[in-house]
Amino acid sequence: MNLSFFDQFSTPYLLGIPLILPSLLLPALLLPSPGHRWINNRLSTIQLWFTQLITKQLMTPLNKAGHKWALLLTSLILFLLFINLLGLLPYTFTPTTQLSMNMALAFPLWLATLLTGLRNQPSTSLGHLLPEGTPTPLIPALIMIETTSLFIRPLALGVRLTANLTAGHLLIQLISTATITLLPVMPSISILTTLILLLLTILEVAVAMIQAYVFVLLLSLYLQENI
């Protein structure tokens, strides 16, 4: 059976059962389990320090009303971070390469921030659709443009995460295929492509971390506008 480069993005099945749910639950096993002591081991200490650093970075621009979202946003960034990094391992599946899943994360959270603003400060939230001092003839056009840009936000969140991870996985597969193909023909070129593959893998680790951070950071900025 011939496999295409895009077959790695199809959901794997075992006995007719999709394995996307176990792959989503796997990151929970990497989180520290609660115990009777404050500090269990060095790994738990590092994880707690990293979680505190992320929470502080996300919550600093927000006021006290936005701190209610700290648990949700921190859990989301850890969830995306673990899934993106685990997807770089061999013979694994990355759920965040699926646009449907990313949109299922982006749209409800964006809608929650929007409804929060409309409930708490409707005048300010609606005022974002029309900049102050706009000439009267441009008011209808600007309202349409700002409304369109507002509804594009969840789509941009989902597409950005999907496109970056998909492109990285495709590049890794292309270069690894070229390395294996050139190995018996031109070993020196194959060594060069292996070095490129190693550098690209390191870059993809950084991209996996950055994209998880950017996704949650943009959500926190949308929340900041509405509180």
Both tokens assigned to 83: 């899934």
pLDDT band for position 21 (50/70/90)? confident
Q: Where are the domains of the chain?
A: 41-226
Average pLDDT, the chain: 83
The predicted pLDDT at position 134 comes to 74
Q: What is the dihedral of CA 37, 38, 40, 46, to 10 degrees?
A: 170
- Average pLDDT estimate for 40-46: 73
Q: Which of 40, 34, 41, 20 is nearest to 86 (CA)?
A: 20
pLDDT band for position 159 (50/70/90)? very high
Strand segments (E) across the chain = 13-14, 17-18
pLDDT at 210 over 90: yes
DSSP SS3 for 13: strand
Which range (1-10, 106-115, 127-136, 175-184) has the least confidence?
1-10
pLDDT at 1 over 50: no
Amino acid in the structure at residue 107: F
Using CA atoms, how far apart are residues 215 and 212, in angstroms rounded to an integer?
Answer: 5
pTM of the model: 0.82
- Average pLDDT estimate for 14-20: 72
The predicted pLDDT at position 2 comes to 45
Radius of gyration of the CA atoms of the chain, in A: 22
The predicted pLDDT at position 128 comes to 74
Between 137 and 215, residue with greater pLDDT: 215
* pLDDT (tens digit per residue) in 48-91: 788 888 888 888 878 887 788 888 888 899 889 988 988 888 77
Between 109 and 124, residue with greater pLDDT: 109
